[in-house]
């Protein structure tokens, strides 16, 4: 049977919050029984946009990770619920029954993704339903997907083996994949959130003037083996992205025209701007 999956492209998210607002528009003051009771106006973020800043000025970037319920196939929230208060539909969507779940606050803490919110007034746990009430009526997109202006969000309904092939082909990742929760939400370019970079600028001195070294060759080495190489842009900047945080020592080697090779050692913990690698005229 075909099941729903969501695909989120981190590179395309601009933190406009249209997805969050369209979710509010759909669910605040609206009961969509049997799938959800109305979402409170404040305090719940069924589509929660997390933010991450990497690097140091001026080589810095910010990424945004929209984070809804993952609709896990091996969902801890289902195991934590009593009386079948949380269940999985045959199309993959995980639903918290707003009647059966009343008073079951422990369901909130069972989610490793922080995707469940407690409604103090109604005494129920609540979360994203993947707009199940709309998909049941034949809608092909959830409200958040429909509202996203950049195409960062999409949903696809396909067989699990087809989805696995798509994920492999397009290098899609899942959050906390090693926990075995089997999320149905997939991320493109998750490295922008989970990995780090080494960046810097190369400059040279000529007749007493310091200039950007456009076209300099920079190599990244680890344990004396070359990992990657980059050519600096018009500003003399380079960037090696997708490295593991806290992954130890690296060496940068820089070449530019007739200037002598320069070596910089770094100990990588988080994304790092090594600053300006200056090739002075004395090194000609």
Nearer to ligand SF4, 76 or 236 (CB): 76
Piece of the chain touching ligand SF4 by CB under 6 A; list 23-31, 68-76, 158-166, 259-267: 68-76
CA 137 to mean position of chain CA atoms: 30
C-alpha distance across the termini of the chain, in Å: 68
Nearer to ligand SF4, 63 or 198 (CB): 63
Q: Are 174 and 186 in contact (CB under 8 A)?
A: yes
Q: Is 277 in the site for ligand SF4 (CB under 6 A)?
A: no
Q: Label residue 237 left, alpha or beta by phi (over 0 means left) and psi (-120 to 50 means alpha).
A: beta
Q: Is 113 in the site for ligand SF4 (CB under 6 A)?
A: yes
Q: Is 93 in the site for ligand SF4 (CB under 6 A)?
A: no
Applying CB under 6 A, among 6, 7, 10, 19 the residue interacting with ligand SF4 is 19
Q: Is 94 in the site for ligand SF4 (CB under 6 A)?
A: yes
Q: Whole-angstrom Cα distance, residue 152 to residue 278?
A: 39
Q: Are 188 and 256 in contact (CB under 8 A)?
A: no
Q: Is 192 in the site for ligand SF4 (CB under 6 A)?
A: no
Residue 23, both tokens: 């979710």
Name the nearest CA neighbour of 230 among 14, 59, 62: 59
Q: Is 61 in the site for ligand SF4 (CB under 6 A)?
A: no
Q: In whole angstroms, how close is the CB of 6 to ligand SF4 at the nearest point? A: 11
Q: Is 55 in the site for ligand SF4 (CB under 6 A)?
A: no
Q: Label residue 169 left, alpha or beta by phi (over 0 means left) and psi (-120 to 50 means alpha).
A: alpha
Q: Whole-angstrom Cα distance, residue 93 to residue 3?
A: 8
Preceding peptide of 47 cis, ω within 30°: no
Q: Is 6 in the site for ligand SF4 (CB under 6 A)?
A: no
Nearer to ligand SF4, 154 or 280 (CB): 154
Size of the site for ligand SF4 (CB under 6 A): 29
User: Of 127-186, which residues contact ligand SF4 (CB under 6 A)?
Assistant: 127, 147-148, 150, 152-153, 181
Q: Is 106 in the site for ligand SF4 (CB under 6 A)?
A: no
How much is the CA Rg of the chain, to the nearest whole Å?
24
Give 173's DSSP letter: B
Nearer to ligand SF4, 116 or 163 (CB): 116
- The residue ranges that bind ligand SF4 (CB under 6 A) are 13-19, 49, 64, 66, 69-72, 75-77, 94, 111, 113, 115-116, 127, 147-148, 150, 152-153, 181
């Amino acid at each position: 049977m075909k099941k729903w999956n969501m695909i989120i492209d981190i590179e395309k998210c601009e933190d406009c919050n249209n997805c969050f607002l369209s979710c509010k528009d759909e669910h605040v003051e609206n009961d969509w029984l049997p799938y959800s009771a109305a979402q409170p106006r404040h305090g719940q973020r069924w589509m929660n946009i997390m933010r991450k800043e990497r690097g140091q000025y001026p080589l810095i970037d910010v990424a945004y990770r929209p984070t809804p319920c993952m609709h896990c196939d091996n969902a801890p929230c289902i195991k934590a619920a009593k009386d079948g208060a949380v269940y999985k539909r045959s199309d993959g969507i995980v639903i918290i029954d707003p009647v059966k779940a009343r008073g079951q606050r422990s369901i909130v803490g069972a989610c490793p993704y922080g995707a469940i919110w407690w409604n103090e007034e109604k005494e129920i746990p609540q979360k994203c339903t993947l707009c199940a009430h709309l998909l049941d009526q034949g809608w092909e997109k959830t409200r958040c997907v429909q509202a996203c202006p950049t195409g960062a969000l999409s949903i696809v309904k396909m067989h699990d083996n087809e989805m696995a092939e798509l994920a492999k082909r397009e290098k899609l990742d899942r959050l906390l994949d090693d926990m075995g929760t089997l999320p149905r939400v997939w991320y493109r370019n998750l490295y922008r959130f989970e990995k780090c970079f080494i960046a810097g600028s190369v400059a040279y001195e000529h007749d007493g003037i310091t200039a950007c070294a456009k076209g300099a060759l920079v190599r990244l080495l680890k344990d004396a083996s070359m990992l990657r190489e980059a050519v600096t842009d018009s500003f003399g900047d380079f960037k090696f992205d997708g490295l593991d945080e806290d992954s130890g020592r690296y060496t940068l080697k820089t070449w530019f025209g007739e200037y002598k090779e320069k070596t910089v050692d770094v100990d990588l913990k988080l994304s790092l701007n090594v600053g300006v690698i200056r090739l002075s005229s004395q090194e000609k």
